[in-house]
Homo-oligomer: A and B are copies of this chain.
């Protein structure tokens, strides 16, 4: 893949330069791995001097954290919208699945780095913040599952384990999906909706409980 080049804006506070920096760094971290990518590599891919990067970001670890935060905030914004919507729990779960799959497929570099490179070792002092964001999303997912179980719409299963199954199924997408591949995010989500919703839902024609 050829690195995308851009001319830095004359206004160094320009948000789009910063966004561009995140995108380029995410692509390099995705391709080469976080630890193997240097600030020099990122500057080269951007076509700017290495010193200029430090105007936007202090350390490589801050850059990793900014990428992680961007991906998690996307998930959380959609997730909180869905959790608040006046929908029955199975519909919320369906929407959350579609939103999560679509966000990953549309922002594959960001999510790959965020999910693959964000270890306690790599995140360092930022780890607590990462965990807090992740916990908010997990809590929101579990609340939907619990609501469905309490209403008798979902099977009475351990909500943590069902939540981890959901997250594993969806997050694992980064490992196999081809953004130029034959399956659209909507097609992937539609098969998994049938699979996962039938997995959690109490069939209507069987006695509940």
- 8 A Cβ contacts from A158-182 to B: 158, 161-162, 164-165, 167-173, 175-176
Q: Which residues on B sit within 8 Å (CB–CB) of A176?
A: 164
**Closest residue of B by beta carbon distance from A197:** B199
User: How many copies of this chain?
Assistant: 2
Partner of A121, one of B36, B161, B192: B36
Which of A11-19, A48-56, A86-94, A200-208 touches B?
Answer: A200-208
A173 touches B162 (CB 8 A): no
Q: Which residues on B sit within 8 Å (CB–CB) of A157?
A: 191, 194-195
Bound form: Cα–Cα A205–B204 in Å: 11
B32 touches A35 (CB 8 A): no
Q: Which residues on B sit within 8 Å (CB–CB) of A194?
A: 155, 157, 199
Bound form: Cα–Cα A198–B197 in Å: 9
Bound form: Cα–Cα A164–B192 in Å: 10
What is the interface of chain A, defined by CB distance below 8 A to chain B? 31-33, 35-36, 116, 119, 121-122, 155, 157-158, 161-162, 164-165, 167-173, 175-176, 183, 188, 191-192, 194-200, 203, 205-206
